[in-house]
Structure 1
Amino acid sequence: MTIQDTPTDLTAFTAAWEEWHRQKDASLAREHGFLAVTGLHWLDAGPRRFPDAPGSWWTDADGVGVELAEGEELVVGGTPVRGRHGFGVIPERGGVEAVWGDAVIEVAKRGGQDLIRPRHPGNPLRTRFTGTPAYAPHPRWVVTGTYTPFPEPRPTTVGAAVEGLQHVYDAPGEVGFRLDGTPLRLTVFNGHTPGSLQVLFTDATSGVTTYAANRALHIDAPAADGTVTLDFNRATNLPCAYTDLATCPLPPAENRLPVPIEAGERIPRERTGPIAQ
């Protein structure tokens, strides 16, 4: 299949994209979203305090625990807790949120390691956010492709934005398509909604006009014949494009496209200069 070049109401197409992008940025900048993260604290057996969270934190065979000092309180699942509290064993890519005043302390596991990640709504990265730069949307970047499932899902190990960390995902298949006559293929992972797919990729714009490490693309569930639509206008940055306090996965090696995808989100303004604290 080739890039679509059929007549399209560009005004309506652009308006739909702008509404999608507005909602995407609003979600990113929500009160306790990734722009509110103030620390990425990896836990070990030795209890430690951190400047942006209450209590002393550790992890052991029983899971994550915290010892709150006199006058300190967290609210977990709607219940106030004081003193010593155990969160239990956190599953991989799982997490629990504990409320502390107007902040939320995320307790999570990534790459087999337990962590806490405090989220404060007053973080300057969030309060000064003005939106994500992007290429002007155009129908030429809406591409028809074909999804081919693997005989069995393939466990696929990828790197992470945090050095030394790895993620493992089951890849159910791959998508083949063409850009300007060039045949390309992408390994896909399961998406966030039933039947949908997600792609992590880089291309010839990565590190030039788009974020160097990765971008992501949601793909709706394939049709019965395997047909899928890839709308690269909706290629998005992951949280690691905005903050070093994210553990985002990197694309598998085969998803490094040799062609430029001049569509979707560009390098965030937050990466063009320091954010004053």
Structure 2
Amino acid sequence: MKKALWTPLLLVLAAACGRAEPEIDVAAYEAEIVEWRAGRLERLLAPTGFLTQIGLHWLKPGIYSIGSGSANDIVVPATAANRIGEFDVSEEGVRFTVSGGVEVLVDGVPVTELEMPADVTGQNVIAAHRSLAWSIIDRYGNLAVRIRDFDHPFVKTFGPLPYFDVDPAYRVTGEIARYDEPRKIRVMTVIEGYDQFPLSPGTVSFDLGGERYEL
């Protein structure tokens, strides 16, 4: 059976079994996929895309130093100051103190100390030092500092992404079978112990290549 890595599989939900496959404009479908692929690469390369993220450090109550020096608790690329500053993590939140003689900016304004609310508060603060930026995130009550490097060499050399040719055969019609009540499902993440549990309304089944599949 042919499998296409990174090929979007468009599921058109049908209310009843045996519904005929709708006719499609192949050229328009191919253009839609090409546009999606271009947008995906653009999102990856954006300042807030995954490719600029160079570190995610989980925090417990205590003091954490950050800088390019090897003695720091959080070590960043050599383009940064030897010690940028320190995170003070407590039950009240996270406070950052800048080391003397080091420039750290928030919205373009130099700071020496600042409170750093997590992203879930709606008051997230992004601090910047040279090509680096960092902020605090909260995942299920666990705090972490997310660090980005906007000048990371990988960002400048990344791409293009490899894809199979667009194949309209992978555009299928699915049939949804709803649960009596939405069910919580486990979605594993790349971070051990931090899985997500969204609600699922039901399952979707479809035929592809002579075989039946269910999601």
| TM-score (norm: length of structure 2) | 0.69
- Offset of residue 30 of structure 1: 1.4
Whether contact under 8 Å (1:90, 1:114) holds in the other structure is: no
- Offset of residue 61 of structure 1: 1.4
Q: Which has the larger radius of gyration?
A: 2
1:47 counterpart letter in structure 2: I
Give the whole-Å Cα distance in 1 for the aligned partners of 2:211 and 2:88: 51
In the alignment, what sits opposite 1:55?
Answer: 85
Whether contact under 8 Å (2:47, 2:150) holds in the other structure is: yes
Percent of paired sites with the same residue: 26
Question: Structure 1 residues 60 and 185, CA, compared in 2 at 3 Å: closer, same or farther?
Answer: farther
In the alignment, what sits opposite 1:66?
Answer: 96
In the alignment, what sits opposite 1:105?
Answer: 134
Give the whole-Å Cα distance in 1 for the aligned partners of 2:158 and 2:53: 13
In the alignment, structure 1 residue 41 sits paired with structure 2 residue 57: yes
Give the whole-Å Cα distance in 2 for the aligned partners of 1:145 and 1:6: 12
Residue pairs, 1:1-277, within 5 angstroms: 10-49=26-65, 50-52=74-76, 54-76=84-106, 78=107, 80=109, 82-88=111-117, 90-91=119-120, 96-186=125-215
Give the whole-Å Cα distance in 1 for the aligned partners of 2:180 and 2:102: 53
1:31 counterpart letter in structure 2: P
Structure 1: gaps spanning 5 or more residues: 187-277
In the alignment, what sits opposite 1:196?
Answer: none
1:30 counterpart letter in structure 2: A
Question: Structure 1 residues 6 and 171, CA, compared in 2 at 3 Å: closer, same or farther?
Answer: closer
- Offset of residue 104 of structure 1: 2.5
Whether contact under 8 Å (2:131, 2:151) holds in the other structure is: no
In the alignment, what sits opposite 2:10?
Answer: none
| TM-score (norm: length of structure 1) | 0.56
Whether contact under 8 Å (2:133, 2:149) holds in the other structure is: yes
Give the whole-Å Cα distance in 1 for the aligned partners of 2:21 and 2:182: 34
Question: Structure 1 residues 13 and 138, CA, compared in 2 at 3 Å: closer, same or farther?
Answer: same
Give the whole-Å Cα distance in 2 for the aligned partners of 1:109 and 1:184: 36
* Residue-by-residue CA offset, 1:46-65 (whole Å, 9 max, x unaligned): 21122337321243211222
2:87 counterpart letter in structure 1: W
Question: Structure 1 residues 34 and 180, CA, compared in 2 at 3 Å: closer, same or farther?
Answer: same
Question: Secondary structure of the equivalent of 1:118?
Answer: strand
Question: Secondary structure of the equivalent of 2:29?
Answer: helix
* Residue-by-residue CA offset, 1:100-134 (whole Å, 9 max, x unaligned): 34432132123542111211121122111022211
Whether contact under 8 Å (2:183, 2:201) holds in the other structure is: yes
Whether contact under 8 Å (1:44, 1:58) holds in the other structure is: no
Question: Secondary structure of the equivalent of 2:198?
Answer: strand
